Chains A and B, each alone.
Chain A
Amino acid sequence: MDNQELYQKIDEIIRAHDDDKPIVAILQDIQEEYRYLPREAFDYLSKKLGVSLAKIYSIATFYENFSLSPKGKYVIKICDGTACHVRKSIPILEALRKELGLSSEKSTTDDLMYTVETVSCLGACGLAPVLTVNDKVHPAMTPEKAIELLSELK
């Protein structure tokens, strides 16, 4: 990645926050831009905000939504909230992982096309089980429908 471009983007994001330095919100914006938090962003942010690297790292690793490794073009989140769980969401997760050659340790395909992960409750329990592809909710899923969905994405 071109670091200069990254730094410029970070400057923009910090400015948009009126120099208030809300670290969580800044990290959220960086992640929205790059779909993950690049390693280089930490050093730069630390210098720019005058906050220790450890502190920023501790915040980034605390919250579930932050990712330190690049994610796929399509981020598929299978809801494993209670309602989806009792309506059998795990077989969907397993089917997708099997299809894409992923596992609980390896959540992103090597070609950076797909990331498969679970999320605890999207609040769309009425439509359980659900999954989201880049935040679009797909209701009433089954393992078969999920595989079908994959082929639509390709």
Chain B
Amino acid sequence: MVIENRASMQKSRAAFLEQIDNQTKKIYVCGGTGCVAGGSMEIYERLKQLIEEKGVKCQVKLEKEEQGDHVGLKKSGCHGFCEMGPLLRIEPAKLLYLKVSIDDCEEIVEKSILGDEVIERLIYSRDDITYSVQEEIPFYKNQTRIVLEDCGQIDAESIEEYIAYGGYSSLEKCLFDITPDDIVKTISDSNLRGRGGGGFPAGRKWSQVKAQKDPEKYVVCNGDEGDPGAFMDRSIMEGDPHKMLEGMMIAGYASGAKEGYIYVRAEYPLAVQRLENAIADCHRYGLLGKNILGTDFEFDIYIVKGAGAFVCGEGSALTTSIEGDRGMPRVKPPRTVEHGLFGKPTLLNNVETFANVPIIIEKGADWYKTIGPVKSPGTKAFALTGNIVNTGLIEVPMGTTLRHIIFDVGGGVRGGKKFKAVQIGGPSGACLTEEHLDLPLDFDSLKKAGAMIGSGGLVVMDEDTCMVEVARFFMNFTQNESCGKCVPCREGTRRMLEILEKIVDGRGEMSDLDMLEELADTITSTALCGLGKTAANPVVSTLKYFRDEYEEHIRDKRCRTKTCQALKQIYIEKYHCKGCSLCSKVCPVGAISGKIKEAFEIDQSKCIKCGACLSSCKFKAIKEA
């Protein structure tokens, strides 16, 4: 099975492609976490059973050649349109069926797999236009999918399909056509910047590791996608694991490392499983191990599962965690490129960065720079979530505006509500408002606006979201996840959280706002690691753009979105109250009193705002303000 040299690699590629071409229909059942939760694997099994019952052969693996008419049934990676899952794509018609249920399977097999009919009710429609072809749907049409190109259009569990569609040809090119110096130069010339958050030029990192004299070096892939609201890397690991592995192998070859480690969050069991499969497949074909494709190149990749610590997304904490210790950051320098994993020079990039590598090697640095701004070129995957119509995974060129992402790709705010803010960059990021809608999203523009791309989570918030509560939420997260090593982060985030809790609880004072700013300033300038330095960002940005909301909470004891429980006022509308006394019976603290058949009243000093009376009233006489 081992592919021994370049010629046999190319022969295998042609053979696999021929097999795919021989499939009369190709059916891709989405196997991303989202659709699996919606039951897509049951749909997969049911389709297989139904197709075979009809006497049609169903090819699920390319290893075994099929003769005669047969269809290909595949588990694809995440299509990105998670809101509409479970998803099903049928080629060659490029049909995309949405919200498929197990009961639809029979009709799908009958009409669209054995026949060529389109089932209207399963296709996407918006504003009275129906879209049967996946690529025509505005959600997809408005994207530029390069890194995610294969996600959803390739069998995520098949190395053969990856190879057939040109996979590992970039590795081939590196091993046979160009030198490690050329590789590093190409990556440098492409201006590829790390997709993990900071946007550090990848080429500089690569050449620094390459220049290290130590013969023992490591390649590490950061798959510890800890930002709440981000799942780009998970989707790549699940949907197209080989692209990332190929990127790591190229990095190994270019830098002179023999081993690679992938650090994956334990919360991503499916990603771990797909990566394990993919690595085993690489061993089977001799793409990992000794003498890869008959050359002297030797490389192996190991998976390390995280154990739930956000701080392990930080470089030095991550390498310490791989070593099996408490994942805490250390003072730099020395930097990871000199002193990383096991104290050796280490090339550390994140999943999406590695997934960009084979594409750049294949198409060249000049081509890459034509996408997005020259100084931060390429595309960026974003996880679009929150109060938005089309939640899901998207990819757009760097420099795309928020307006395009939220309204054209995302379809606008849910339920016709008004857009209020978008949180970008997770707990290290910031909230951007309406005035930023035309801001181009790239590393430099965002930095100027006091925000950062982070790993790429975009959480859209509508007018019903309380920004003070959002700030408290993030501070609670950071405080929880603070590793405790340095005082500014350990103590500072706790104090900030206490103040925010006080404010949402209606006990805030105006001087608290100054204290928040002072603490934020101290933490930002003195914390040890990048995560600490950015911990105050959500508070700083909400204070900057939504100061009036903070002031309302403090001065007027009012939360305009009615989110903050303690600031709620529950009262009885006199004219609607029939005096039935039901509310006074359900009130757990005896705050409601009155005479039967006359309007009742709530004693605000006793009311604990539990809301029990609200649901008890049959005349809708009890209101919240």
Query: Interface residues, chain A, CB within 8 Å of chain B?
Result: 21-25, 27-28, 58-59, 62-66, 80-83, 85-87, 119-128, 130, 135-139
Contacts and interface: CB of A to CB of B under 8 A. Distances in A.
Contacts of B33: 122-124, 137
Given A86-B465, A120-B228, A23 B37 contact: no
The 4 closest A-B pairs by CB, nearest first: A126-B82, A64-B308, A81-B228, A63-B307
B391 A83 contact: yes
B443 interface: no
B383 interface: yes
B307 A87 contact: no
A82 B231 contact: no
9 contacts: A58-B326, A81-B228, A120-B481, A124-B37, A125-B230, A125-B383, A127-B38, A136-B37, A137-B37
A25 B229 contact: no
A59 B36 contact: no
Interface in B525-539: none
B66 interface: no
B391 A121 contact: no
A85 B469 CA distance: 10
Contact of B477 (A65, A86, A120, A125): A120
A81 B229 contact: yes
A82 B309 CA distance: 17
Contacts of A83: 228-229, 385-386, 391, 457, 459
Interface string B279-316: 00000000000000000000000001111111000000
B83 interface: yes
Contact of B321 (A24, A27, A137): A24
Range of interface residues on chain B?
35 or more
Contacts of B267: 119, 121-123
Contact of A126 (B269, B392, B465, B473): B392
Contacts of A119: 267
A63 B309 contact: yes
B324 A23 contact: yes
B309 A28 contact: no
Nearest to A20: B324
Given A62-B326, A83-B386, A123 B307 contact: no
B304 A121 contact: no
Contacts of B392: 126
A25 B229 CA distance: 26
B422 to A, nearest CB: 11
B266 interface: yes
Given A121-B228, A135-B269, A27 B326 contact: no
A25 B37 contact: no
B387 interface: yes
Contacts of B234: 123
Given A85-B473, A121-B267, A126 B385 contact: yes
Nearest to A27: B307
Contact of A21 (B37, B308, B324, B461): B324
Given A22-B324, A63-B309, A65-B307, 11 more contacts: A28-B266, A83-B228, A85-B228, A86-B461, A119-B267, A123-B33, A123-B231, A123-B267, A124-B37, A126-B391, A137-B36
Contacts of B38: 127, 139
Contact of B83 (A66, A120, A126): A126
Contacts of A139: 34, 37-38
Contacts of A62: 309, 326-328, 483
B426 interface: yes
Contacts of A28: 266, 305, 307
A37 to B, nearest CB: 11
User: Which of B225, B393, B457, B480 has its CB near the most chain A CB atoms (within 10 A)?
Assistant: B457
B227 interface: yes
Nearest to B391: A126
B170 interface: no
B324 A86 contact: no
A139 B8 CA distance: 46
Nearest to A63: B307
Contact of B229 (A27, A58, A121): A121
A25 B36 CA distance: 27
User: Which of B226, B228, B269 has its CB near the most chain A CB atoms (within 10 A)?
Assistant: B228
Nearest to A22: B324
A24 B308 CA distance: 11
B298 to A, nearest CB: 19
A130 B229 contact: no
Contact of A86 (B85, B386, B426): B386
Contact of A130 (B37, B266, B457, B461): B37
Given A59-B326, A82-B386, A83-B391, A126 B459 contact: no
Given A123-B225, A125-B383, A125-B385, A25 B324 contact: yes
A59 B320 CA distance: 11
A126 B85 contact: yes
B423 interface: yes
Contacts of B483: 62
B391 A125 contact: yes
Contacts of A58: 326
A27 B324 CA distance: 10
B550 interface: no
B387 A86 contact: yes
A86 B561 CA distance: 12
B58 to A, nearest CB: 27
B226 A121 contact: yes
B53 interface: no
User: Which of A63, A81, A86, A130 has its CB near the most chain B CB atoms (within 10 A)?
Assistant: A86
B269 A127 contact: no
Interface in B306-344: 306-310, 321, 324-328
B268 interface: yes
Contacts of B426: 82
A124 B34 CA distance: 6
A28 B227 CA distance: 22
Nearest to B480: A120
A140 to B, nearest CB: 9
A127 B37 contact: yes
Interface string B367-402: 000000000000000010111000111000000000
A134 B99 CA distance: 25
Contact of B34 (A21, A80, A127): A127
Given A24-B307, A64-B307, A82 B459 contact: yes
A117 to B, nearest CB: 11
Interface in B220-240: 225-231, 234
A124 B231 contact: yes
A49 to B, nearest CB: 10
Contacts of B480: 120
User: Which of A63, A87, A126, A136 has its CB near the most chain B CB atoms (within 10 A)?
Assistant: A126
